[in-house]
Each structure stands twice: as C-alpha cells, then as structure tokens.
Amino acid sequence: MADSRSSWPNGMDAEARIRHVALTRTTARNAGWIAEEADVSRDTAVKYLTRMVDRGELVAVETTDGVCYRSDGVTQFLREIRHLTEEHTADDLTKELRAVADEIDTRKSTYGVESPTELRRSVGDEELTAEERRARIDAAEEWEYDIEMREAIQLALALKQSLTALDAEGGVDLAGSGTLPQEG
C-alpha cells in the first residue's frame, strides 16, 4: 500500500477513501490501483467497489488489466443535476450558465475554432510547440467539461422550474423536506 495516510483527512474511513478515488477517476482502474490510492488492502477495495457496482455508482469493465471500475456517467450526471437544483437558486444557476458560456466563447475566440473536437484536431499543427499542444489539449478537456456543466445547469434550471410548478399545484412539498422527493 502507498504511504498516503497524511493526504487523507483524519476520520475519513476506508469506504469514503475508496469512494473518492473510484468516483474521481476519468479512466477505469483496477481494484489494486484503487486500493493503493485509497491506502487500503485490495480485498477491502474489492468489497466496497462491488457494493458500488451493485448500487449503480460504478461500472465494472473487463480490460487487459483485469476487472476495472469506472464511474457510471449517467448516475453521476443525475446526481450533479440534483445537487445543483437543491443547493443553488435559479439566479445562481443562471449566473453560472452565463460564466460557462463566456468561457466557451473565450476558447472559440482564443483558438479560432468552434468545438473541442476542432481544438483537439489542431494539436497536430506542426508549427505548435509541445507546450502549446499541451495547452490546447487541456483547453479542449476544460471545454468538454464546460459543455457537460452547461447541460447539467440547464437541466437543473428546468427541474427547479418543474418542482416549483408542482409545489404551487400542491403536488410536492418542497418547503417541508429541504430536499427533492425520493423514490420508494
């Protein structure tokens, strides 16, 4: 195991560390890798990773490195929408939506392209330095994230509007619970 105990907050248990490591990766990782990063045994990692797969938080995929785990993108996206809806006002969401749009416009102007895909293709330009290529790849990744966040914010605004309408019609008690309605 890695000697990373000092990097984890005091009181953060094994399950929380595994959850953090597994859900913040963009690439599928095997249980051994996750265990090392979370500073737990491989068996402990497998136990909690299996639970996360059963709950739909992770997807297990077969790779050349064996069974690897990656975040379930749909579940994470829906959780983000819920978080945005519950934790932010419509005005806050609108301001953030404007900020994201401004960032996208800045990238379009800076690089003279219309999409992250075009920006990625421009990395092959022979006149660019290695540093400029890295900057373009980073900018493309940030742009893709901004597009995802823009979609989540737009959906959160629509959900907030729908829930407000339902509350006004007596269908949902938003004031009483402080959170969105739960299934079952």
pLDDT for 184: 41
Q: What gap in Å lies between CA 100 and CA 157, rounded to an integer?
A: 15
| CATH number belonging to domain 5-71 | 1.10.10.10
Long-range contacts of the stretch 117-124 (C-beta < 8 A, 24+): 119/143
Q: What gap in Å lies between CA 50 and CA 114, rounded to an integer?
A: 41
The tens-digit pLDDT sequence of the chain (184 residues) is 444 444 788 889 999 999 989 987 778 999 999 999 999 999 999 999 999 999 988 999 999 889 999 988 888 888 889 999 999 999 999 999 999 999 999 999 999 999 999 999 999 999 999 999 999 999 999 999 899 999 999 999 999 999 888 886 766 555 555 555 544 4
Pair 173, 167: CB distance under 8 Å: yes
C-alpha to C-alpha distances, 95 to 35, 89, 100, 102, 114, nearest whole angstrom: 39, 10, 9, 11, 23
Q: Where do the structural domains in the chain lie, given as residue ranges?
A: 5-71, 75-170
